[in-house]
Copies of this chain bind each other. A is one copy, B any other.
Amino acid sequence: MSSEGRIEEFELIARVFAPLAAGQPFAKGLIDDAAVISPEMGHDLVVTTDTLSAGIHFRDDDPPETVAARALAANVSDLAAMGAMPVGYTLAIAAPAGLSIEWYEAFANRLAAEQERYGIGLLGGDTTSMHGGPSLTITAIGQVPQGRAILRSTGREGDDLWVTGTIGDAALGLDILESRLKPAAAPDGESLTARFVSPVARIGVVGLLQRHATSAIDVSDGLLSDIGHLAAASAVAAMVDQDQVPVSPAARRLLEQPGMGGRSLWRRLVTGGDDYEVVFTAATADRAAIEADAQSLDFPVSRIGRLVAKGGEIADDLVVVRDASGAIVHIDGPHGYRHFAD
C-alpha cells in the first residue's frame, strides 16, 4: 500500500474496474452512475451487502487477492443460502489516497477470476478516498424464482439440520497464518490456509436448497453461532451431534494429534467462522432425496442434527451439542465473532 503509482479516480475506473464489467450488459460499461438489471420473468431479486475493512476484517498487510476473494465469497454466500443464483455486484472502495495502483490491479485481477467462478460481473460502484481503510462494501444481487427465497426464519421443529462441505478449516488456516498454530503441527497447513485466503461460496447447493430446504443460513460467524441465528429466527432450538459435524482430513489429523488439545481445538472449529458453508433444514422425509441430490455436487452434504422445541431438556440454550453417548458437550464462551465486541 505505497503511495507509488498514485492514480486518479476516473483513470482507476477506466483502467482497473471497467474490464470487470466487460461482457456484463447490465453495467453499461460503468459509464452511468447506475446499472440496469432486467430480472428474468417470474423471478425475484435478492440483495445483500457486506463490508470488509482493514484492521477489522482483514489485516493491513493481507494480499489484495485474499481481500478480493473473501469480499466476494462473503456476499455470494449470503445469496446462495437464500437459494438465489448470483447475477452481479456493485463495489464501493473507500481507500487511503496513497493506495497503489499495484494494489488495485491485484485486487481487480482476483475479482475477475472470482467473477468467472460465479458467472457474474461488476455492475457499478464508487471509488473514493478516505482517512483510514481501505474499506470495501460489496452489494451482491441474485435471482430466485418468485416467492422462493429461502429464509432463516422458516425452520420447523423436527426438521433435520444439514451443512455443506467441512467446518473449521478457515479458522485453523487463520491460526496458522497468525502463528497460533505451528506449521509443524499442521502438516497439511496449506489446505487449511487456502480455505481462509481463497474461500469459495457454495452456489452449487442452490438447486438442492430450492428442492428441499425449509430454511437456511450461511456459516460466516461460526457454525454454532449461525445455527443459533437460524434457531432464534425460527423460534426453535437446535441439537447438534458432535460426531456428525463434517471435518476435513487435515483438520481431523490435527484433532487427533496428542497434545493439540482436541476439545479446545474442536471448539475453535465450530465457532471460528469464515467457512462460507451453508446450513439448512429439511423435513426428515427428504433425507434420501437430499443424499441422492448431493451425489452430483463436488462437496459433501452432512446431516448434523435437528431442530427441537425450545425449553425442556435443553433449558434456555438455543443450540446444544451432544457427543456420541448423548451427553451434552459444553462449549464455553461466545459462539462466534461479534463486531464491536473487541
State the A residues within 8 Å of B (CB): 6-10, 12, 28, 31-39, 44-51, 53-57, 78-79, 81-82, 84, 90-94, 97, 123-133, 135, 137, 139, 141-142, 144, 146, 149, 151-153, 217-218, 233, 338-342
- Are A53 and B131 interface neighbours, CB within 8 A? yes
- A153 to chain B: closest residue by CB: B31
| A28–B341 CA distance with the chains assembled, in angstroms | 26
Chain B nearest CB, measured from A9 CB (Å): 5
The copy count of this chain in the complex is: 2
Chain B nearest CB, measured from A269 CB (Å): 22
Chain B residues whose C-beta falls within 8 Å of the C-beta of A82 in the assembled complex: 32-34, 36
Chain B nearest CB, measured from A76 CB (Å): 11
Chain B residues whose C-beta falls within 8 Å of the C-beta of A33 in the assembled complex: 48, 78, 81-82, 152, 217-218
| A341–B146 CA distance with the chains assembled, in angstroms | 46
Chain B nearest CB, measured from A20 CB (Å): 14
Chain B nearest CB, measured from A57 CB (Å): 7
Beyond A31-B151, A94-B135, 5 additional pairs, beta carbon < 8 A: A12-B340, A34-B79, A38-B44, A38-B146, A133-B135
- Are A50 and B126 interface neighbours, CB within 8 A? yes
| A290–B153 CA distance with the chains assembled, in angstroms | 50
- Are A53 and B128 interface neighbours, CB within 8 A? yes
Chain B residues whose C-beta falls within 8 Å of the C-beta of A217 in the assembled complex: 33
Chain B residues whose C-beta falls within 8 Å of the C-beta of A79 in the assembled complex: 34
Closest 4 CB pairs of A and B: A132-B132, A34-B48, A53-B130, A137-B137
Chain B residues whose C-beta falls within 8 Å of the C-beta of A341 in the assembled complex: 8
